[in-house]
Chains A and B, each alone.
Chain A
Amino acid sequence: MSDFRITPQITLKTALQGCTRLVSRTITLEALPEGHVLHVLGKPGEPLSMARLEGLSDGTPHAVRAAGPGQWFIVGDRAKTHSELADLFAAIQPEAFGVDQSAGRIRIRASGPMVERMLAKGTAADLSLSHFPIGYATTTLIGHIGAHVTRVGADAFEIMVLRGFAQSLWDDLARMSGEFFED
Chain B
Amino acid sequence: MASLVPCPHCGARPKEEFTIRGAALARPLANADPAAWMDFVYLRDNPRGRYEEHWHHTAGCRRWLVVTRDTTSHEIAASRDAALDTTGAPHP
Contact = CB atoms under 8 A, between A and B. Distances in A.
Answer whether A and B touch in the complex at a CB cut-off of 8 Å.
Answer: yes
Interface of A: 44-45, 67-69, 124-126, 138-141, 146
17 contacts: A44-B81, A44-B83, A45-B90, A69-B61, A69-B63, A69-B81, A124-B2, A124-B14, A125-B10, A125-B13, A139-B59, A139-B61, A139-B62, A140-B59, A141-B17, A146-B58, A146-B59
A126 B62 CA distance: 19
Given A68-B63, A69-B9, A126-B11, A141 B83 contact: no
A125 B62 CA distance: 16
A141 B15 CA distance: 11
B16 A139 contact: no
Interface of B: 2, 4, 9-11, 13-14, 16-17, 58-63, 81, 83, 90
B60 A138 contact: yes
Contacts, number: 43
Task: Give the top 7 A-B pairs by smallest Cβ distance, nearest first.
Answer: A68-B61, A146-B59, A141-B59, A124-B14, A45-B90, A139-B60, A141-B17
B16 A141 contact: yes
A139 B83 contact: no
Give the dominant DSSP class at A's interface.
loop
Nearest to B90: A45
Contacts of B11: 125-126
A65 B2 CA distance: 29
B3 to A, nearest CB: 11
A102 B53 CA distance: 36
A93 B63 CA distance: 23
Given A44-B90, A68-B62, 19 more contacts: A44-B81, A45-B83, A67-B61, A68-B61, A69-B61, A69-B63, A69-B81, A124-B17, A126-B11, A138-B60, A139-B10, A139-B61, A139-B62, A140-B13, A140-B17, A140-B59, A140-B60, A141-B16, A146-B59
